[in-house]
Structure 1
Amino acid sequence: MPITLLRVLIALVLLAAVGFTVAPYATSYVSTSAVVNAPLINVSAPFSGTIIQPTKPVSVIVESGETLIELKNSQSQRGALQAAQTRLGALSGEIVGMDKQTRDLARIRADLIARRDALVEARTAWFIPRLAEATANISRATTALQKAQRNSQRIEKLVKSGSVTPTNASDASAELSVAIANLAQQKAAFDQLKVERDTLNGAMGIDLTSNGFEQIEYRLNEIDVRLADISARLLERQAQRAGLKNQIRTMGLEAIRQESFKPNVTTSGIIWEASAREGTTVAFGESVAQVLDCSRRFLEVQLPERHFENIPTGTIATVQLKGSTDRFTAEVLAAYGSGARPNREMQAASPRIITIDGFRVIVGLGSANLKDAIAAGSFCDVGRTADVRFDLHQDSLLSRISRLLSGFGGTAPLNVEPTFGQETAPIETE
């Protein structure tokens, strides 16, 4: 009898153990594997340089707005900037020299014009008595002509009366011709003086009796040509200087930007991968630090693919982290078939994602409390596996049996809030 009772008890224990093991699969969809995950913020060196201020150690919290790391550029851009500034100084010196040449030539030109005006004034004053003398000569020749005309007329009358001989008439006619020619000569000399006087104030300014004006005009023309050449070169240098100033301004900003690299943390997180120590050399594009973004945690759950359409977006899941006695609920955000290739480069954990007959479900866990030292020290539970269950469809037979057993004192469905999550945040999985 005791042996039979013992056998019955052992059978009941085995049945209870099998029932306890099979019950979750009979009352819910159970994950084949599940891992807590979160995005990583990777910081790469924008240039080759040296670490001046390293990051905090691994697992230390960094607040939003805090300087993560400081790098100093080992290949300074100051050399090209100094060369451009030297070129700018040379151009400025050339421009100053051209301005001085322009002022000096303008002063010489003004002096030559003043000298020319003085000569014109002096020559004009010299022509006044000459013109007066020429006028007097014309008046004298006119008087002599009038006298010769009266004498010729008187001789003609005397010839008609027979008082004088025809020879006297010929002499009188000759004297008249000489007086007419003399008057014409004096008028021509007067006109010549007027032409010479008028050319002094003309465009050419040429003195017909001296080459002084010609020399002044030649020098003025030469100065005008030089001023035009300097003006053209001055405009070219000024344009080059303006362009060089813009280039120096851009190079200065670029040199400041490339002189050091001090990125600020955009969101609070935990140091996942710390930088090397102070003074270490890093290459361009090299990863210098990684920050774990605990505000966008999620759970990657794997289930048999036959349950794909039974777990749509918004389904509530019951989660229990391995090693923890607490359970909490979370919401399904997305689901991927077994053939999907999600972007995993920026995710901290790397669970098994290749399944022959399965699919992945993304369950949002929300932000972790970084003020909790335990949560921060465990990297917000990233990488921990979990047991995840999803309630059966309301119309399924097993779901009805489960509700019936619950009515007879069975285990009630779980509805526990998360113990270390705050709110569900959007998850970037692609």
Structure 2
Amino acid sequence: MILNHRLTRITVGILLLALAIAVLLPGLTGYSSLDGTVNARFAVINAPVDGEIDKAPPRIGTPVKEGETLATISNERVNRAVLASLRTDHRTALERVAALRRERDELVRLRDDLAGRLDIFRNATIASLERELQILQKRVEVSRAQEVVARVDLDRRQDLESKGIFTRKMVESAEAAGAAAGGELEISNLTVELLQERLSAVRKGIFIVGDGQNDVPYSRQRQDEVIVRIHDLNTRIAENETRAKQTDQQIAEEERRVLNLESATIPSPLDGVVWTRNVVSGSNVVLNSEVMRILDCRDLFVDILVPEVDYDEIYPGRDAEVRLFGRGDVFKGRVQAVKGSSAVVEKDSLAANEPEADERNARIRVTLAPSALNADFANFCQVGRTAQVRFSKRSLHVAQWIQSLWFNLF
């Protein structure tokens, strides 16, 4: 029979050998994984304010550019009570400033009027004292003349007494008249000095009465009261102006806050594609509620599982080749991280599920070099697609294999 023919047996043997080589060669020349998954992260877009969606976000699968408007939110229920209160305080402070300034202006006019009256009174007093001083100076001249007459009469009588014509009594009468004239002259001089002092004091604004005390006129007293009141009003005006300035700054801050809460525009934080959306036009949202998710195609990677015995052979930075299941294109990659089988893996921030490990498999993350996949927004950048990853061996590591086999046997 042909099956027992020698050539047939040789051919079958060669085919079986070729099949064995084809099966074993990939494992001898490198490491392969068939359970890889193309993966990426996404940006979670949350509502910045409470309100209602005016413009619906783009549909799932729509490419978006960085800065593009994704949705607009309006809120008609913003609390404006604080803003209204601040505006009332600001308006009240300004009204107080205006009223205090009017009162101050009236007091300034009253002060000027009192100052004018005081000037008139002082000028009149100065004029009166100057006239009295002139009168007293004339009296001094009269008293001086009378003193001269009395002195001449005394000399004459003393001369006549020596001749026996006048008696001693007549001489004594002349001496008394001379003393009286001298005293009158001295009194007049003292009075002149007193009036000169009063006149000098009045010119300086000090009014001296007969008992030596300061006599402040009513106009001067009233003027001092008005000046004190003006200083008090200036202080209150400064306080209210400061209050108005502070409330004006608070109003500006509150207006910005209210403006930010009245409406908000949500821009896209990156170039990507809409992965999910949770709202439509007219939906009500609350602060920090999730609105949509944008797939970030800038950094694509593949998560794979390999036997943990090859952990040391696959290290960060090692080059890899990635081929999508069903496609012949090969993409360059590089190992980003290597984790053991019991390591805790992240799940919430990834767009696709990581492969589930049911044995002692090391978790390998391979980042993909920039390629056409990063711009394939129509297919979500192939995220979730099964991929095959291969690492080439530099040697067969026969000695390592024998040592491992010896360790397992004994």
What is the TM-score normalised by the length of structure 1?
A: 0.81
Q: Which residue identity is paired with 1:37?
A: N
SS of 2:269's equivalent in the other structure is coil
Distance in 2, Cα, partners of 1:92 & 1:265: 45
With over 3 angstroms needed to count, the CA separation of the structure-2 counterparts of 1:227 and 1:353, relative to structure 1, is: farther
Q: Which residue identity is paired with 2:232?
A: D
Distance in 2, Cα, partners of 1:164 & 1:208: 46
Matched with 1:60 is 62
User: Map of 1:38-57 to 2, 5 A cutoff?
Assistant: 38-57=40-59
How far residue 143 of structure 1 moved from its aligned partner, in angstroms, is: 1.0
How far residue 304 of structure 1 moved from its aligned partner, in angstroms, is: 0.8
1:180 aligns with 2:188: no
Residues 249-293 of structure 1: CA distance to partner in whole angstroms, max 9, x if unpaired?
A: 333333333332223223221101114112211122211110001
CA contact (8 A) 1:45 1:284 kept: yes
Moved more, 382-391 or 308-317: 308-317
CA contact (8 A) 1:148 1:179 kept: yes
SS of 1:69's equivalent in the other structure is strand
Matched with 1:389 is 390
Matched with 1:227 is 230
User: Map of 1:229-378 to 2, 5 A cutoff?
Assistant: 229-322=232-325, 324-338=326-340, 339-352=342-355, 354=357, 356-367=359-370, 369=372, 375-378=376-379
How far residue 184 of structure 1 moved from its aligned partner, in angstroms, is: 2.5
With over 3 angstroms needed to count, the CA separation of the structure-2 counterparts of 1:129 and 1:316, relative to structure 1, is: closer
With over 3 angstroms needed to count, the CA separation of the structure-2 counterparts of 1:29 and 1:136, relative to structure 1, is: same
How far residue 57 of structure 1 moved from its aligned partner, in angstroms, is: 0.8
Matched with 2:405 is none
Q: Which residue identity is paired with 1:391?
A: S
Distance in 2, Cα, partners of 1:19 & 1:51: 63
CA contact (8 A) 2:206 2:215 kept: no
How far residue 111 of structure 1 moved from its aligned partner, in angstroms, is: 1.5
SS of 2:266's equivalent in the other structure is coil
Distance in 2, Cα, partners of 1:212 & 1:108: 21
User: Where does structure 1 lack aligned partners over 5 or more consecutive residues?
Assistant: 399-430
The number of aligned residues is 393
CA contact (8 A) 1:271 1:290 kept: yes
Distance in 1, Cα, partners of 2:73 & 2:34: 45
Q: Which residue identity is paired with 2:294?
A: V
1:156 aligns with 2:146: no
Moved more, 325-334 or 14-23: 14-23
User: Where does structure 2 lack aligned partners over 5 or more consecutive residues?
Assistant: 400-410
Matched with 1:405 is none
Residues 344-375 of structure 1: CA distance to partner in whole angstroms, max 9, x if unpaired?
A: 43211121355651212222224565897xx4
CA contact (8 A) 1:37 1:298 kept: yes
Distance in 2, Cα, partners of 1:370 & 1:254: 42
Distance in 2, Cα, partners of 1:368 & 1:36: 13
Distance in 2, Cα, partners of 1:371 & 1:336: 23
Q: CA RMSD in A?
A: 3.2
CA contact (8 A) 1:312 1:332 kept: no
CA contact (8 A) 1:38 1:294 kept: yes
Matched with 1:411 is none
Distance in 2, Cα, partners of 1:66 & 1:347: 23
Matched with 1:143 is 145
1:123 aligns with 2:125: yes
CA contact (8 A) 1:109 1:223 kept: yes
